Structures are given as C-alpha cells and as structure tokens.
Structure 1
Amino acid sequence: MLRLAFRTLRLRKGGFIGTFIAVFFGALIVASCGGLMETGIRGNAEPQRLAAAPILVTGGQTFELPKEDPASLEPDDKRKFEDARLPERVRLDDGLVSRLRSVPGVSDVVGEVSFPLAAGGKPALGHAWDSAALTPYALVAGAAPVAGEVVVESSSGAKPGDVVQIAARGKTESFRVAGVAGAPRSITQAAVFFSAADAARLSGHPGKADVIGVFTDPGADVETVRAKVAEAASGANVLTGIDRGVAEFPEAETSGTNLIVIAAVSGGLSVMVAMFVVASTLSLSTQQRSRELALMRAIGTTPRQLRRMVLGEALAVGLLATALAAVLGPVLGEWLFGQLVENGVVPSVLRFYQGWLPAVVGAGAAMLAVFIAAFVAGRRAGKIRPTEALAEAAVTRRWLTPTRVIVAALCFGGGTALAIVTVAVMTGPIAASTAGPAVILWAIGVAMITPGVAKVMTAILQWPMRLLGGIDARLAVLNTRAGIVRAAGAVTPIMLAVGIATANIYLQTTQQELANQAFTEDVRADAVIGSVAGGLSPDLVQRIQTVPGVAGASEYVTSSVFLEKPYDSSDEGRPAIGLTASGAAATTDTKVTQGDLTALTGRTVALPEVFAKDFGRGLGDTLSLRLGDGAPVDVKVVAVTSQRPGFESLLLPADLLAPHTTAGLAPQMLVRAAPDVDPAVLTERLREATAGLPVSVGDRAALVAAHDKDQAVGAWVNYLLVGMIIAYTVISVANTLVMATVRRRREFGLQRLTGSTRAQVLRMAGFEGGLVALVGIVLGTVVSAGAIVPFCLVAADSLLPMGSPLIYLTVIGLAAALALAATLVPAWAATRGPAVDAATAGSD
C-alpha cells in the first residue's frame, strides 16, 4: 500500500498541494518561534569592552522568595523557595576586589563602574581609567587622566589639551583631555575615562563596582579558577565565555527573558493553529477523494490497507513540507528577530541563534497534526462498508461523531471556565492572561460543530439570498446545503482568521487605551523635565519649585519592589513610583482616602486600598520591602490611596526609591502650573530656568506621547507575531477555498452542458463564496466575543472593546474579499474551455 501511496502522489500532484502548503507554513512558523525562544534562552551577547577579562563577576540579580508564608516554612526547605529577579542592577562592594586577588590562579583583578553621560552632546558611558585594561584600551596620544581630566576615544575627534563639556548626574562640568585611546575591536557604546576619584563621584555609587574583571595566570585553567572565584564571591554571578556578555549588557538577559515569553505565547498559539489548520486541510483533501476510496473498498481493499495508504500519502507530503520548513525556519526566525531589534524590543547586541531543536519541534508538531488527521480520515474511510461507500461518496452527510462531541464539549467548557475566571477573579489588564487563550478554545469548539451551525445559518440566509440573486443564488444555497461538510471546511479557516484577528487586536488596543487613560488620569503635570544624561540632580526640584508660576514639582521615579512582610506571593514584585512629598499632590491625581501625601518623606509609603485590604495593613503600620536592587527597608504607611483597578502602585519618597535604581537618580520631573498660568508660558519659563543643564523640557503632550510610545512598543510585538499567525490562517483560507473550488471542474462542466452559461456558473460560485464568508465572519465574531466581552467587562466595565470600529470592518472586509477571490479565481479557471471537456475530465 505504501507503493500505491507514492504512485498516487505522482499522479495527483495537484490534490496534495493544499496539504503541502498547510504543513509547510505551519512548521515554518513554529520553527521560527522556536528560534526566538532558543535565542532568549541562550541570551548570548558577545562581550566587547570587557572582552579581555576571561572571568567577570557581577552582583546576583535574584533573591530567594518563599512560595508560601515564611511563618509556615522551614528555612532549610529549599523546595518552598523560588528565585525572584531583581529589576535594578545589583552592585558589588569594592572590598571584593582585594579578596579575589588572593584566589589561586588569579593574576589581576579590576573593578569597573559605568555611568551614562553626554560628551559634546553625544551619549557615552563613563568609566575609571583603571578599567581600560578590560578591553584593553591603549593610549595612542597623551597620558592617563588625573582629577579633572579625561581620556576619550579616537573617534571623538578630540586631542590632548582640548577642553570638553561632560554632562552627568544632572550637571555639566568641564574636563581637560589628557589622552586619546583606541580599542582593538568595535565597541557599541562610546567610552570616556576618568580618574578613579572622578569616576566614583560621577557614578553616584562610591565604594561599589558594577562588574569585576578577573585575569588568570598564564596557563591556568579558566574553569578551575572560575570555581575558586565563585567560592570567594558567594552570592555573586561568576561568568566565563559567551556568558560574559550579560555582564556588559545586562539588558540582554532581561530582553532574553522577555523573548522567551513572547516566543512561548506565540509559539504555543502557532502550534495550536497549525495543528488545527493541517488537520482541517487534510480532512478536506481526503473527503474530496471519497469516490476513489469508496471504489477501492468496493473492489476488496481492506480497511487496514486503506488506512495505510492514506497515512503513507499524508506522511510523505508532510516529510517533504517539514524538510523545506526546517531549512527556511531560521531565515524567518532571523527576520523576525531583526524586526524586534529594529523596533527596540530587544538590544542589537543580543545574538540570534537557531540550532536543530526548533526545527525538530516545528516538524514534530506539523507531523503530529498530519498523523492524527490522516489516521482519523483513513479510519473513517475504512469503517464504511463497501456497499455504503459508493453511496456516501457523492455527498458526505455524516459529520457529528463522538470525537467531535467530546472535543466540542471540552473546548466550550474550557472557554466558559476561562470566562468565569476572568470575570470573577481577575482585575484590570491582567485579565487578558485568561481572556486571550479563550479565543482558541472557542474557535476549536465552534469548528467541531461548524457543519451543523453552517446548515442552520444557510437555512436562515437562503430567503434573503434568493430575493437578491434569483436562480443563481438559489443554486448556490442548494449546493451549499447539499455539500455542507465541504462548505464547513471552507467556513472554518475564515472563522479562525476573523476570530483570532479581532480578539487579539482589540484586546491589545483596549489594554493600550486603558494604560494611557490610567497614566493621564493619574498625572496632572503641565510640563515635564527629563534628563539627557543619567538622571536629574537631586537639588533641581527645590530650584524648580521657586520658578514663578509653578504650583508644584515632583521627581518621578518608577521601579518594582517586593513585599517580604506581610507575605506577598508575587514573584514579579509590585509597581512602585517615587515622588517628592511637597509636590506629589499637585502633580498627581491620586485619590488619598486616608493620611496625606505630604508625609511621604524618609522611610514611608502610600499604600493602595486593595493592597491594604489584602495585606491587612493601614495607617501607622510597617511594611518590610526589598527594593529593586535587593536592598531591604522597613517603611511606615502614611497614606492609603484609591487607584484604578489593575494599575495600582506603591508610592514611595523619590529620594528613597531613586538611589536603588540602576541610574541612581530620578529620570524626570513633573511640574504643575499655577491656576492663572498658561502651561505654554510655564514651559518657556522652565526652559529658561534650566538653561545650561543637561535636561529637556516638554509640555504635557510630550509626556503623554512618551508614555504612549512605550506602550506602542509592546503593542507592536503583539501585532507582529499575531499578524504572522493571522497570515498563516489567511493562507489556509485561500488554500482551502481553492482546493474546494478546483475539484468542482467536472460539476461546473455538467452544469454548463445542461444550459447554464459561464457567467451564471461564476455568479453561482460568487454567491457560494459570499455565503461561506458571511457564515465564517459571523462565527468568527462570536468566537472573538468569547474573549473580548469578559475582558472588557472586567477591565473597562463595558461590553465593547476600545479601538476604532474600522479595525473590525477591515478584518471582515478582507475576509470577505479573500473568500470571494479564492472562490471566483479558481472557478473562472475551471470554466475555461469547452464544457464537454470539463464534464468528462477527471476529478483531480
């Protein structure tokens, strides 16, 4: 039977193209998502400025977080703890440098600090000259710097003796160029080197090192020395090889984690869609061969032989398709990665890597779908008795099998459960985590009963169609009702495309609009002052508060903190905002239900009502926090606030939160105009007051636009990856409709021989395509509503999503146009030439 299967493939190439397309694109998308995941897991970034040191030591970016209330845990029970990642850089004490020098096999140890600055208006990183050995930079002119001097790169154009303006930590200072240095390789980030004392002062973290570079004795085994360094630097990260890149580019590790999440979500959705589309396409392909399979049963072919033949054909096509997808998967994966880099989602230093495993996963998922679909189709064909096979071959009527009923019940049950969880348990935008996956469950459930639903909808729509289209529409309705299983095969991918596109796009637009509303409602500032070089000077806020027309000014710092006491199970921390007590009330619209934001000084916190209720804390109580860099602090509750559900943040003093961020300073300041002052006038006064400082001044529109831009980056990621999946379903729509129409060449020929003109046949096909599109659009809308409505009820207190209606109109318009084009074009091709030739042609 396998030999017969291969002969069938050679003789019916056109009949298997549809299956090949579905399997190929499914495996291709899954493999490309796998490449993104592998890139994220590896997190490879080539070290550049720190490449000369074979061993790099960085602060540990995780801490042990109990999975349960610590009061009920044994300290030695490690299974009850998990690692929580700290969002800010953890620095090392300089004392570790001297301790590491005594480690056997170590020849030298260099501590390194990095801080952002602007030199001559261009962004760069500042370092101590001692750390130049980590590249190594070498002087090409001049000498090493002393206090008040710098060494610059050759590309800067400066020469020894020049004076350059350096902006750092909110101030601008003049430095004399002592020397010019060059690096042996290309360095992404420009460097400016200072004396050790100046570097410590400008970094804002004296006595701390960002990274420690360790050089080994000649001939020493790096891994052996690394193990000894790890013992001496307990709790720190000790890196060698390609892993050293994250010490220089910590954003690569964070972006790698985000890339894993993006790839996992998109890949999981891709696998489900691919398996569904492949199964649907192969099922349609087998149905179209029902007469051939029936004849084989009638002449004595056993059910087992028939199953082997169908399975062999499908696996042969699947192997060809997955082999090609395995070759092209890295190409698509690298293109997707390039798009993510270009749009700032991941840093350019992160290296794309795709080995053999993603290709195997993609091929395995596609081949599993092929096997299951072929097995089910072959089993069904083999179960029919020979005397019944020919009778059923003309029109497939039976579709509701126990398997369909069970799958539909499970999917509808799962979708309903997710909807209940979304409405009853979730709050705010996080509800999308349960509402989003529901669309696939609803889609699969509806797909299982599509023949029955399509039959009912066709019966409802037949009367208006007959009124509009006359005899051609009537024939289209009769054809659709007679071949309802075939029509359902075309309806399903349209339903899937409309459902996935509508649900995911509107979920994203609603989340983005909610975030923008929460931000604009909370921030009352008329102007914003932003840093262009590492942060604002701590004394700037007092200076701005004295500017005429200023009603209030507050530093604005964002980070995340972890609650240790009382116990909080969140492993991602809680959002925290740092404000200046004297200007907090004027620049934010946070509603205070108890206490006063003016008391937000020292070690204090303003707690959202929902947190106060959950943690059983109120005014005067104490919370034990771990700040973004892991520093523990006890804070007193001085206010309780009411904030938009899902967007709650702890409010802390800016001078408490900022030093424990990577920058160490507030990146921006909010300014509120007095009631009788025009915001435009205020903005101009602020520019005058900050003249000569490394800051930028913008109005409220600039502040909102900056926030919207940050939100748009996350939205763009979703649109890109979901768009790729939607493109696949669109291909499957065209593929399925073309397959269904091309196979009807003989039917069209017979229709023309009985008196119909070619134009009438095409009009009939057009009405069929329109009917299929309409049913698919209605079902897709219902599917998307299963995800959108619960989410919007919780997040926006509305049944309808936020976003332009043009989005939905565009989706359904494209679906209808695609359905009509994929029906009419092959119908036009099938009706070319004499009708008698078409009527006597084979079914291939």
Structure 2
Amino acid sequence: MILRLSRQNVRQTWPAYLGAFVALVFGVVLLGVTVALIGAVARSAEADDVTLAERTELNDLSSMFGTMSGISLFMAVFVVGSTFGFVVATRRRELGLARLIGATPRQVRRMILLESGVVAVAASVVGALASTALTPVALWAIRAYGLTDLHLDAPPAWLAWSIAVPVGVAVALMGAWRSSKRASRVPPAAALREANVERRRPGVVQLLVALVCAAAVVAVAVVARDMPPLFAMVVAIFLPELLVIGVMCVGTLLLPASARLLARPFVGAHVTARLARDQLTAASRTTAALAAPVVAISGIACSLIVTLSFVADWTTAQDRAQLEAPLVVATGGNAEVADSVAADPAVAVADERRRVGLTVRGEREDVDVVDLEDAGAARGLRAVRGSLDDLHGATIAVSETWTTDAGGDVGDTLPARVAGKEVRLRIAAVVPDAPGLYGEMLVPEDLVAPLVAETPPELVFVVPEDDENPEEVRAALVAGMPDGGRVLTAEEYLAENDAASRRANSFGLWILLGPAGLYAAIAMVNATLVGASQRRRQDAVIRLLGATPRQVRHAAMWEAAFIGGAGLVIGGLIAAFCAGVVRLAVDRDVPGAATTIPWPAVLGIGGTCLLLVVTAALAGARVHVVAGRNVPEPDPA
C-alpha cells in the first residue's frame, strides 16, 4: 500500500521531483560513462604492445575519471537532499493528515524513502540507457582531444549498468534520508495548521558532526606550519568537502545569520531589501537549501583552483632553486642535438637528461639516469639524506615526495627488474624535489648502461665555460643546431614548464569540476524555484497589500542576492583557509616562491553563482506575480 501511495504521489506532484530526477539522470549517465571508460582503459593497459608512457597516460585517465565521478556524486546528494527537503516542507499538512488518519511515523518515513526510490529507479533506467549511447562518443572525444592515441574498446554495457544503477539509487536514498526523518516527526496537528514556524536549531547528530568538522579545522590550523607541501595539498583537496558538510549541519543557523549581516547596509534604504531580509530569516530552511550548493561549489572549486595554482608556483620555485645551467636545449628526441651541444668548445658541462623504463615494486616507472658530476653542476643535484657518493651499482636515489608517498628511506631496498634481471636496489640518497629537472627516482649510468644506449636524451642542461657569455653561446648553438632542437634560457624553460603545468591543471579542473558545476546549477535553480513556489500565497498577500509587481521582483532579487552572497562568503572562507594551509607549507619549503591567484576563474565562479540564483529568483517571482492576480483576497473574518 505504501509503495502504491508513493507512486501516486510522484505521478501527481512530479514537478516537485524534477530537480532530483534531472540530477540523478545526469549522475547515472556520468557514472555509467566513467565505468565504461575505466573498463576500456583497463583492457587497453593490459595489452602487450602498450608502452610505459601510454600505460602511465591510461592510469592518469582512470584516476581523473574516478575523481570526477566522486565529486559529482557528492554534489548529487545535495541536489536530491534539497529537493526532498522542500517536498517535505511543502507537504506538512498532507503528512499531518496521513498521521491523523492513522499512519505511523515509520510508515511516513518509508513513504518518503519509497518516493525517492521511485524517482531513482526512473532516473537510473533513463541514465543507464543514455550512458550506453554516449560511451562511444566519449571514447571518440578522448582521442579527438589528444588525451590518448590508443584505440579504446568499450566493455560490455552490463558492467556500467551494474555499478551506475545501484549507486544512483543509493545516492537518492542518502539524499532523502534526512528529509524522511523530518517527515516522520510531523505531528497529526499539522493537518489543522495554516502556518508553521520553522525550527532553526540543529539536531544533536548535526551538532556532533559540526563539532567534529570544527575540530578538524582546528587540528589542521595547529599543524599547518609543520605540514609538508604534498600533505598540505592533499588536505586542501579533501578538507573543503568536510567543511561543507559541517556548514550544512548548522546551515539553518549560520546561513540566515550571514545573509542578515549582508543585508544590513541595504535595509534602511530599500523597503524591498527589508522585506527580503525578513523573509530569509523566517524561512531558514529555504535559505539554507538555496545557499548549500553555492557554498559547496564555491568552496570546493575555488579551493581546488587556488591550491593547484599554488602547487604550480611551488614546483616552479623548486626548479628555479636547483637549476644552475643558464641554457637548456630540448632535443626533440634527436640524439644528434645532444652530440652537437657536447662538441661545442664553449660548453663546459652538457648534462643530458635521459629516462628509462624500469619495473620497481611491480610497477613500471620512468627513472632518470644521471651523471652525478654533470647533474650536480647543471641541475644542482644534491642529497638531503644519505650520500650521492654511494649512488653506483645496484642503488637508487629518490625524491622527498617519493619518501612521503611510499614511506621508504635511506638504506631500504626496492625490488626491481633491470634488463630482464631481478635486482634489489638500495636507496643511497634522498634528493630535493625538482619535478622539471628530474623525476622521483634516479639511478646511475652503470646500472642501466644497455638501456641508456638505446634512449636519446630529452634535454641537455648547458653550463658555458667561465669566460663565455651565455647569450653568445646560445647564438652559436642555435646556428649549428640539428633538426628538432631548441635552445632556451633557464627562465624560458621554467616559464614553459609552468605554463604547461597550468594548462594541464586547467584541463583537469574542467573535467573534474564541469559536472559538479552543472549539479550546483541544477541545485541552485531547483531550490530557488521550489522555494518561490512555497511563497506563492505570501507574494499574493503582499500584492493585495499594495506592493507593485516591480517591488515583488525586487524583493525576490534582494533575497537571492543576500542568500547567494552569504553562500559565496562562506565558500570563499573555506577556500581561503585551505589555500592558506598550502601557502604556509610552500613558504616553509621554498621561501620567496611566487603567489599566483587565478582571479578570473575565482571571480567567474562567484559571478556565475549569483547570476543563476538571481535569474531563477526573478523567474519564480514573475510567475507568481502573474498568478497572484487571480488569488482571491483573504476573508477578514
């Protein structure tokens, strides 16, 4: 009986569930396509003819797709939760009537969960079919945009369905869980009430979760100065999600209060601003639901954008601190370029960067082959622990980042396979990070001599003789440069690396945050329109009291601006805190590193959020102004 009632409710009031349906369809499509892409990548990576670089490329693609789905599903919970929160709020009298005629709290709760299940099943079916149709398009796009040159074959469709559909249903149930609990607490007397005062006080569980999140912030702030940059970056990526959850737990208190503070300068000059302030104060749940996606997308997106920008500043500063060579030659894979540089009498050191593929700890790795004397003179190679004098034979040097990731240190041994032989490589030294100069693993030439002969150098770091002018040496090298070679100054090389890193970061952010941004847009528009529908009679009464249509629209605009502004302020504080953690770690590791904040991207996120919220509010107000003309005046008796 409850299931039949849930189906009837969804069928009769389907516009209220439209936002959740669209969000779930999109989520299932995204997850289904992602599973298919990861399956295609895994099948291709197992092929025998795949090179080390291609396998690394495929692994990076899998990681990127997985992270994208995780962030998007996190946002989907907000959309579904806000939708069902509004559904419960608008149906209090109906739910009270159900309680009045004998429905138990458990039955009411089950009815709301089954309604979410009905929406989820319909959305999952549509999403699964759409994901199957879009998978070939996604595989084509990956090759068209140059993410890989390999041909990827889609796995069977049932694999994507078996994962995407259950996850979609689970997301719907998670989003509706809190709303179903609130619905079960609606008393029978609600059927007789004309109005209801919303409770702003968070529940016990919500307060406990908020306290845990606050404790995490305090703990991070205490250890921020001693945090390694890599760990700080990881914290800045995952901490915003935790902070958003904490803010939402106390959202009915925090968000209306923040919106009231923003409204204070305007309420004295504009009566519509005062009306908007009073409305957002009275409707605390609507305020929190509308601000939630703004807080989430601004906090998470801005944190990621600024963090990755600071990481690019950090890696460039590391390279600049290490690089001693004033000139860098890119060989383009032509060994003759390196030979011509080494043969120039004005060149004192021609330090060649070569990388070979070795199996270390069961994984194929790109390993740098170094000449210690040349690398020390041109790339500032040195040891922070251990000694590079011990780097010969079956030994390896690793970067500080590698020790943080893998947990190894000087004296440990790593199982490896070199030229078909199993060997154990002893870690002889730990070297500073300089990603643009060398990788995380370095081995001596005598260990991999047969592989070195087959591998042309990628770069040559050039140190001229003491009595030579670097610009004159550069001109001479350019004049005699074989095909494919390019001669760069040290600053030009660092700038190219930095630009390439930022382009890769920007592309990755579009992939990661694009779906999440669409979710946030759906949530903002959905919450604004449903919230406006709750105020239909209020707007009609205001019109009957003498307010003009223009004033009603202005009040809606002020309310949306205050709520959106409050969400942006709190999201900005989250992003600023996370960025500050990364910046402290970077300054401690490389003092004087540049600080680059991508203001166009940050301001673009804020402007887009405000535009969406205000536009949806104006659209809802315009509809209700027209509808309000036909609402009869209330009987004074």
How does the TM-score come out when normalised to structure 2?
0.84
What is the aligned partner in structure 2 of residue 322 from structure 1? 124
Q: Report if aligned partners of 1:584, 1:597 keep a CA contact under 8 Å in 2.
A: no
Secondary structure at the counterpart of residue 246 of structure 1 = coil
Q: Tell me, what secondary structure is at the counterpart of 2:626?
A: coil
Contact 1:745–1:838 (8 Å) recurs in 2: no
Deviation at 1:796, TM superposition (A): 4.1
| 1:655-703 CA-partner distances (Å, limit 9, x unpaired) | 6557446953323322234566554543332244444xx5413213663
Q: Larger Cα Rg: Structure 1 or Structure 2?
A: 1
Query: Pick from 529, 543, 553: which aligns with 2:350?
Result: 553
Secondary structure of the residue aligned to 1:670 is: strand
Measure the CA separation in 1 of the matches of 2:385 and 2:8. 81
Per the alignment, residue 261 of structure 2 pairs with 460
* Equivalent position to 1:264, from 66, 81, 87: 66
Shift of 1:519: 2.7
CA displacement 1:143-200 (0-9 Å, x = unmatched): xxxxxxxxxxxxxxxxxxxxxxxxxxxxxxxxxxxxxxxxxxxxxxxxxxxxxxxxxx
Residue 502 to residue 578, structure 1, CA distance change in 2 (3 Å): same
The counterpart of 1:819, out of the listed 605, 613, 617, is: 613
- The structure-2 alpha-carbon separation of the partners of 1:551 and 1:409, relative to structure 1 and needing over 3 Å to count, comes to same
Shift of 1:492: 0.6
Q: Secondary structure at the match of 2:84?
A: helix
8 Å CA contact 2:267, 2:273 repeated in 1 = yes
The corresponding residue for 1:500 is: 300
CA contact (8 A) 2:272 2:554 kept: yes
Tell me by how many angstroms 1:574 deviates: 8.9
Aligned partner of 1:729 among 509, 512, 520: 520
> Are 2:575 and 1:784 equivalent residues in the alignment?
yes
815 and 834 in structure 1: CA distance in 2 versus 1, 3 angstrom threshold: closer
Candidates 477, 488, 496, aligned match of 1:699: 488
**CA–CA distance in 2 between the matches of 1:526 and 1:292?**
77
Alignment of 1:443-592 (within 5 A): 443-467=244-268, 469-533=269-333, 536=335, 544-558=341-355, 577-581=368-372, 583-590=374-381
1:747 to partner: Cα distance: 1.9
Structure 1 residue 254, shift from structure 2 partner: 3.6
SS in 2 for 1:480: helix
> In structure 1, the residue corresponding to 2:462 is in which secondary structure?
strand
- The letter of the residue matching 2:307 is L
Q: Which residue of 222, 238, 241 maps to 1:437?
A: 238
Measured after TM superposition, the shift of residue 43 of structure 1 is 2.8
- Could you tell me which amino acid in structure 2 is paired with residue 697 of structure 1? R
Residue 307 of structure 1 and its aligned partner are, at CA, apart by: 3.2
Change in 2 beyond 3 A, CA 1:454/1:679: same
TM-superposed deviation, 1:756: 0.5
Task: Determine helix, strand or coil for the equivalent of 1:832.
Answer: helix
Partner residue of 1:118? none
Q: CA deviation at 1:444?
A: 1.0
Mapped partners of 2:392, 2:109: distance in 1: 76
Matched, 1:717 2:514: no
Paired residues of 1:311 and 1:371 also in contact (CA < 8 A): yes
The 2-side partners of 1:628 and 1:508 are apart by: 35
| 8 A Cα contact 1:344 1:713, kept in partner | no
Taking the TM superposition and a 5 Å limit, the aligned residue runs for 1:86-105 are none
**SS of equivalent residue, structure 2 residue 70:** helix
Superposed CA deviations along residues 557-609 of structure 1, whole A, max 9, x for unmatched, are 2458788xxxxxx8879985434455434422346789998998888877779
Matches for 1:363-442 after TM superposition, within 5 Å? 363-388=165-190, 390-391=192-193, 394-398=196-200, 400-413=202-215, 424=226, 427-442=228-243
1:188-199 alignment to 2 at 5 Å? none
Cα 1:4–1:247, aligned 2, differ >3 Å: closer, same or farther?
A: same
Query: How many Å separate the matches in 1 of 2:594 and 2:99?
Result: 53
SS at match of 1:346: coil
For residues 836 and 348 of structure 1, what CA distance do their matches in structure 2 show?
A: 63
Who is 2:48 aligned against?
246
Q: 1:41 to 1:640 in 2, by over 3 A?
A: closer
2:73/2:171 contact within 8 Å kept: no
Q: Distance in 2 between matches of 1:602 and 1:664?
A: 19
- Higher alpha-carbon deviation: 694-703 or 310-319: 694-703
Contact 1:734–1:819 (8 Å) recurs in 2: yes
Could you say if the C-alpha distance between residues 687 and 351 of structure 1 is closer, same or farther in structure 2, counting changes exceeding 3 Å?
farther
Corresponding residue for 2:539?
Answer: 748
* SS of residue paired to 2:329: strand
Q: Provide the C-alpha distance between the structure 1 equivalents of 2:332 and 2:200, rounded to a whole number of angstroms.
A: 69
Mapped partners of 1:531, 1:626: distance in 2? 29
Aligned residue number for residue 42 of structure 2: 41
Deviations 1:219-267 (A, max 9, x none): xxxxxxxxxxxxxxxxxxxxxxxx5x43255555443433332233232
Q: Return the offset for 1:446.
A: 1.0
Count of residue pairs brought into register by the alignment: 624
C-alpha distance in structure 1 between counterparts of 2:188 and 2:319, whole Å? 69
Q: Secondary structure at the match of 1:556?
A: strand
Structure 1 unaligned segments of length 5 or more: list them.
Answer: 45-242, 564-569
Paired residues of 1:524 and 1:587 also in contact (CA < 8 A): yes
In 2, the alpha carbon distance for the partners of 1:608 and 1:376 equals: 47
Between the aligned partners of 1:317 and 1:622, the Cα distance in structure 2 is 55
SS in 1 for 2:36: helix
Partner of 2:78: 276
Q: Please give the alpha-carbon distance, in whole angstroms, between the structure 2 residues aligned to 1:33 and 1:612.
A: 31
Supply the distance in 1 between the matched residues of 2:102 and 2:413 (Cα, whole angstroms). Answer: 80
Q: In the TM superposition, what is the alpha-carbon distance from 1:333 to its structure 2 partner?
A: 4.8
For 2:26, what is the secondary structure of its paired residue?
helix
Q: Is the 8 A contact 2:302 2:602 kept in 1?
A: yes
Alignment CA distance shift 1:356-1:417 (3 Å)? farther
Find the aligned partners of 2:573 and 2:466 in 1 and give their Cα distance.
Answer: 50
Normalised TM-score (structure 1): 0.65
Q: Which residue of 1 aligns with 2:25?
A: 24
Q: How does 1:571-720 map to 2 (within 5 A)?
A: 577-581=368-372, 583-590=374-381, 626=416, 632=423, 649=440, 652-653=443-444, 659-660=450-451, 664-674=455-465, 677=468, 679-691=470-482, 695-700=484-489, 703-704=493-494, 707-708=497-498, 711=501, 712-713=503-504, 715-720=506-511
The whole-number CA distance in structure 2 between the counterparts of 1:541 and 1:260 is: 36
Shift of 1:542: 6.7
Superposition RMSD in Å: 4.1
Tell me if structure 1 keeps the 8 A contact 2:348–2:465: yes
Conserved? CA contact 1:553–1:584, under 8 Å: no
C-alpha distance in 1, partners of 2:528/2:88? Answer: 15
Runs of 5+ consecutive residues of structure 2 not aligned to the other structure: none
Q: What is the SS of the residue equivalent to 1:345?
A: coil
Give the direction of change, closer, same or farther, for the CA distance of 1:670–1:833 in structure 2 (3 Å limit): same
Q: SS state of the match for residue 756, structure 1?
A: coil
**Counterpart secondary structure, 2:169:** helix
1:137-156 equivalences under 5 Å are none
Do the aligned residues in 1 keep the contact of 2:67 with 2:512 (CA within 8 Å)? Answer: no
From 297, 312, 329, the equivalent of 2:99 is 297
Alignment partner of 1:348: what SS?
A: coil
CA distance in 2, matches of 1:258, 1:660: 25
Q: Could you give the per-residue CA deviations for residues 360-405 of structure 1, whole angstroms, max 9, x where no partner exists?
A: 3333223223234445433432333212564485342255223323
Residues 685/657 of structure 1: CA separation in 2 closer, same or farther (3 Å cut): farther
Give yes or no for the alignment of 1:810 onto 2:604.
yes
Change (3 A) 1:248 1:497: closer
Percent identity for Structure 1 against Structure 2: 23
- The structure-2 alpha-carbon separation of the partners of 1:389 and 1:489, relative to structure 1 and needing over 3 Å to count, comes to farther
CA distance in 1, matches of 2:179, 2:103: 16
SS in 1 for 2:485: strand
Cα distance between partner residues in 2 of 1:408 and 1:493: 18
CA distance in structure 2 between the partners assigned to 1:668 and 1:817 by the alignment: 48
